[in-house]
């Protein structure tokens, strides 16, 4: 079932029927959109994922997800980030249901721009390392899939950082 991007409540606390104030946190204002898919391979939380573009049954193209990869054939263009398991077992192996952020803020695997680091606001696109993004290049045919919302330090290597996923699905 599709999630809604409407904001229904803008307060960070509420008053119960007994008159007690209760904190509801910032999640009530989170505009992120999360959908459930089937893992086609073992995934990790934070991996950027792509659809099964090579599926022979048209209905299966947007059912399963692989790690996004600019070096695969066909190229697996990213559309979202794995948040975790949608099942009680918690496994992210092939055949299991996974939650994917397809729009909004989440933590994702980001490279360190060949050791130079990335600043907040850096546009991201898929690399040739499965599941990872890095600084976007005008020379690349891959679309921008996200925006970095947290600095990646020089020499940090690939790390989980806060990003804004650009809606593409």
Q: How many CA atoms lie within 13 A of 44 on its CB side?
A: 10
Q: Is residue 15 part of a domain?
A: no
pLDDT tens-digit series, residues 3-15:
565 555 566 676 7
The reply to whether 5 falls in a domain is no
59: left (phi over 0), alpha (psi -120 to 50) or beta: alpha
Residue matched to tokens 């950082």: 161
Q: Answer yes or no: is 22 within a domain.
A: no
CATH classification of the domain holding 140:
2.40.300.10
Whether residue 120 is contained in a domain is answered as: yes
Q: What is the pTM of this model?
A: 0.84
How much of the chain exceeds pLDDT 90, in percent?
57
Query: Does the residue 14 lie in any domain?
Result: no
In a domain, 25, yes or no: no
Question: The domain containing residue 143 runs over which residues?
Answer: 33-165
Instruction: Evaluate whether residue 134 is within a structural domain.
Output: yes
pLDDT at 9 (0 to 100): 57
Distance CA 168, CA 125 (A): 13
Structure tokens, 74: 């066909």
Number of structural domains the chain divides into: 1
Per-residue pLDDT tens digits for 5-49: 555 556 667 677 777 877 766 555 567 899 999 999 999 999 999
For the chain, residues with pLDDT lower than 70 are 1-12, 14, 24-30
User: Is residue 27 in a domain?
Assistant: no
């Amino acid at each position: 079932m599709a999630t809604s991007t409407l904001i229904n409540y803008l307060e960070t606390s509420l008053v119960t029927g007994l008159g007690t104030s209760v904190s509801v946190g910032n999640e009530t204002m989170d505009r992120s959109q999360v959908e459930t898919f089937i893992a086609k391979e073992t995934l990790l939380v934070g991996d950027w994922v792509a659809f099964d573009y090579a599926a022979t049954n048209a209905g299966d193209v947007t059912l399963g997800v692989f790690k996004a990869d600019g070096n695969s054939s066909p190229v697996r263009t990213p559309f979202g980030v794995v948040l975790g398991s949608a099942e009680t077992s918690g496994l992210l192996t092939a055949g299991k249901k996974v939650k994917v952020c397809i729009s909004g803020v989440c933590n994702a695997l980001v490279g360190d721009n060949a050791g130079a680091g990335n600043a907040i606001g850096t546009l991201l696109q898929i690399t040739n390392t499965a599941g990872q993004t890095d600084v976007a290049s005008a020379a690349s045919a891959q679309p921008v899939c996200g925006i970095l919302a947290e600095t990646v330090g020089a020499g940090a290597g690939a790390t989980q950082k806060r990003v804004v996923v650009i809606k593409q699905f």
